C-alpha cells in the first residue's frame, strides 16, 4: 500500500481489495494461456501456519477460484501461530506440517505466520517427503522468465540473488545449466533486494522461501511497449511478461503473490510438482544453533561465508570441510536470535550431519560456548 501511494497509484490501488484485484487479474490472464488441465492440477493444499495468510487467502480466493482451487489447513481456527507448521518448520525439519492431509504426489505448500515465505512439497508414491525450497522456486521462475525473453528476442539482463544458505546444487544448476549470473549477499531480504535492483530483472530468494522478482523501470516500460508493438507469438510472450510483472509483489515479496506466480508457471509449462523437483537434486544439508556468551565475537566476510574472528575458527572449519566430499560449511551470528547459526552440506546426510556437529563443537570451543557442549545427532 505504501508503494501504491508513493507512486501515486501507478503500482495499483492502495487498498486490500486493490491488491486482490490486481494480482487475481494478472493470474487469470496468465492462466488463460495454459492448456486445459484436469481438476487435480488446478488444486493446491495450503498450510497457512495459523497466521494472516489464511484470512487473506479466504477473502481473495473467489477472484481466481475458476483457475485454482485452494484448500486451507492450519487456518487459525485452532492451533498456535507457526507451531509445528508453517514454512520455517517444514524447511528446517524437512517434514510436513501437522494438520495437513497429504496424498501421494499432491502439490502442497506452506506459508509462514506473517505470509512472507513459501515452500512447496509432496510425498512420492513410496511415502518419501520432497521439499521444494526458495532455491528451486527461484530456479523455476528464472527459467520461465529467460524463456519468455528469448521468445520476444529482447536481451534484458537477468540476475539471481541468493545467500550462503542456498543449496550448492541450486547455484551450480543456475550458473552451469541455465547460464544465468548468480550473486550471493548477506542473509536478510534487505540485502538481496538491494542487489536485485542492479538488474533489468532481479530474481531474489532466500532458501527459506522469502523472496520476489524486481523489474527495473526501463525494463517494465520496454516490456509494456513490446506487448503493444509485437505480433503473434512474440506479442503473446510480451503480454505474459506484463502479467508476470503485475503478479509479483515488488515492494517486498509475499507468499500469496509468489504462490500465484508459481501456480501460473506450472500451469503454463504443464509441469507437475515432481517434474519441477527433478530440475536438480539438493545436496544433503544440516543447520544447527550454538549458544555463546557473546555472538558478536563472530565476525564474517565474503557474504558471511568466511569467519574473520575469533582467530583460528575459519582455519578449523576449513580443516573439517576437507574431510568430506562436496562439502561446504559456514557460521554466522543470527540477526534475529541470540545464537550462532551453523550450516553444513555434503554428499550424504550422514556427512552433512557430522560436519555440522564438528563445526558446532569448533564454534563452542573457540567462540565462548555456554551451557552444554554440542552433542552428535542433534
Ligand atoms: C537461516 C535463516 O533462515 N535466517 C533467517 C532469519 O535470520 P537470522 O539472521 O538467521 O536469524 O530470519 C530472517 C528474517 O525472517 C530471514 O530473512 C533469514 O533468512
CATH class of 1-132: alpha beta
Q: Cβ(208) to ligand 1 under 6 A? A: yes
| Minimum CA distance residue for ligand 1 atom 17 | 188
Q: Please give the helix or strand (H or E) that residue 90 lies within, else none.
A: helix 87-93
In the prediction, which pLDDT does 39 show? 53
Residue appearing with cell numbers 530474481? 203
Distance 203 CA to ligand 1 centre (A): 18
Distance 154 CA to ligand 1 centre (A): 36
Q: Which of 335, 337, 340, 344 to mutate to test the pocket of ligand 1 (most atoms within 8 A of CB)?
A: 335
CA distance 258 to 203: 12
For the chain, the structural domain boundaries read 1-132, 135-252, 285-367
Distance 73 CA to ligand 1 centre (A): 24
Q: Cβ(165) to ligand 1 under 6 A? A: yes
String of DSSP letters for 26-70: HHHHHHTTSPP--GGGGEEEEE-TTSHHHHHHHHHGGGTTTT-EE
CATH class of 285-367: alpha beta
In the prediction, which pLDDT does 154 show? 87
Cβ neighbours, 10 Å, residue 283: 21
| Minimum CA distance residue for ligand 1 atom 3 | 208
Maximal C-alpha separation, the chain: 68
Cα distances (angstroms) measured from residue 155 to each of 145, 203, 222, 265: 12, 16, 11, 21
In the structure grid, which three cell numbers stand for residue 314, read together?
Answer: 575459519
CA distance 125 to 275: 14
Nearest atom, ligand 1, residue 287 CA: 1
pTM of the model: 0.96
* 135-252 belongs to CATH 3.40.120: yes
Q: Cβ(334) to ligand 1 under 6 A? A: yes
Distance 140 CA to ligand 1 centre (A): 22
In the structure grid, which three cell numbers stand for residue 147, read together?
Answer: 524463456
Residue appearing with cell numbers 525494463? 219
Q: Cβ(189) to ligand 1 under 6 A? A: yes
Alpha carbons within 13 angstroms on the beta-carbon side of residue 132 total: 28
Contacts of 258 (CB under 8 A, 6+ apart): 118, 137, 209, 211, 212, 249
Contacts of 181 (CB under 8 A, 6+ apart): 157, 158, 159, 160, 175
**Domain 135-252 in the same topology as domain 1-132:** yes
CA distance 217 to 318: 43
For 251-293, how does the pLDDT look when each residue is reduced to its tens digit (9 = 90+)? 989 999 999 999 999 999 999 999 999 999 999 999 999 999 9
For 75-94, how does the pLDDT look when each residue is reduced to its tens digit (9 = 90+)? 999 999 999 999 999 999 99
Q: Cβ(187) to ligand 1 under 6 A? A: yes
In the structure grid, which three cell numbers stand for residue 158, read together?
Answer: 537477468
Per-residue pLDDT of the chain (378 residues; tens, 9 = 90+): 888 888 888 888 889 999 999 999 999 999 998 875 555 578 999 999 999 999 999 999 999 999 999 999 999 999 999 999 999 999 999 999 999 989 999 999 999 999 999 999 999 999 999 999 999 999 999 999 999 999 999 889 999 999 999 999 999 999 999 999 999 999 999 999 999 999 999 999 999 999 999 999 999 999 999 999 999 999 999 999 999 999 999 998 999 999 999 999 999 999 999 999 999 999 999 999 999 999 999 999 999 999 999 999 999 999 999 999 999 999 999 999 999 999 999 999 999 999 999 999 999 999 999 999 999 986
For 121-143, how does the pLDDT look when each residue is reduced to its tens digit (9 = 90+)? 999 999 999 999 999 999 999 99
Nearest atom, ligand 1, residue 333 CA: 9
Q: Which of 116, 163, 185, 188 to mutate to test the pocket of ligand 1 (most atoms within 8 A of CB)?
A: 188
Amino acid at each position: 500500500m505504501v508503494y501504491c501511494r508513493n507512486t501515486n497509484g501507478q503500482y495499483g490501488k492502495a487498498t486490500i481489495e486493490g491488491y486482490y484485484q490486481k494480482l487475481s487479474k494478472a493470474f487469470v490472464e496468465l492462466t488463460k494461456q495454459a492448456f486445459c488441465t484436469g481438476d487435480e492440477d488446478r488444486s493446491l493444499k495450503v498450510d497457512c501456519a495459523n497466521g494472516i495468510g489464511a484470512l487473506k487467502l479466504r477473502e481473495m480466493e473467489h477472484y481466481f477460484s475458476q483457475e485454482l482451487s485452494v484448500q486451507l489447513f492450519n487456518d487459525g481456527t485452532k492451533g498456535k501461530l507457526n507451531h509445528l507448521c508453517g514454512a520455517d518448520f517444514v524447511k528446517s525439519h524437512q517434514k510436513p506440517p501437522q494438520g495437513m492431509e497429504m496424498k501421494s504426489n499432491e502439490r502442497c505448500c506452506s506459508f509462514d505466520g506473517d505470509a512472507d515465505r513459501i515452500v512447496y512439497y509432496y510425498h512420492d508414491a513410496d511415502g518419501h517427503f520432497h521439499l521444494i525450497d526458495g532455491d528451486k522456486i527461484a530456479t523455476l521462475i528464472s527459467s520461465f522468465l529467460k524463456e519468455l525473453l528469448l521468445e520476444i528476442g529482447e536481451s534484458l539482463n537477468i540476475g539471481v540473488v541468493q545467500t550462503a544458505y542456498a543449496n550448492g546444487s541450486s547455484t551450480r544448476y543456475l550458473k552451469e545449466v541455465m547460464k544465468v549470473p548468480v550473486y550471493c549477499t548477506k542473509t536478510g531480504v534487505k540485502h538481496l533486494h538491494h542487489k536485485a535492483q542492479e538488474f533489468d530483472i532481479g530474481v531474489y530468494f532466500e532458501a527459506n522461501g522469502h523472496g520476489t522478482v524486481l523489474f527495473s523501470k526501463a525494463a517494465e516500460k520496454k516490456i509494456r511497449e513490446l506487448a503493444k508493438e509485437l505480433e503473434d507469438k512474440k506479442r503473446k510472450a510480451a503480454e505474459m511478461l506484463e502479467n508476470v510483472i503485475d503478479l509479483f509483489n515488488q515492494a517486498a515479496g509475499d507468499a500469496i503473490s509468489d504462490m500465484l506466480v508459481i501456480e501460473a508457471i506450472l500451469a503454463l509449462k504443464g509441469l507437475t510438482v515432481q517434474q519441477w523437483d527433478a530440475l536438480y537434486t539438493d545436496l544433503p544439508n544440516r543447520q544447527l544453533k550454538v549458544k555463546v556468551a557473546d555472538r558478536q565475537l563472530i565476525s564474517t566476510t565474503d557474504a558471511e561465508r568466511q569467519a574473520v574472528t575469533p582467530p583460528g575458527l575459519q582455519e578449523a572449519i576449513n580443516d573439517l570441510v576437507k574431510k568430506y566430499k562436496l562439502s561446504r560449511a559456514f557460521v554466522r551470528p543470527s540477526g534475529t536470535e541470540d545464537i550462532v547459526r551453523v550450516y553444513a552440506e555434503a554428499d550424504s546426510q550422514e556427512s552433512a550431519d557430522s560436519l555440522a556437529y564438528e563445526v558446532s563443537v569448533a564454534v563452542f570451543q573457540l567462540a565462548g560456548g555456554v551451557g552444554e557442549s554440542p552433542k552428535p545427532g542433534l
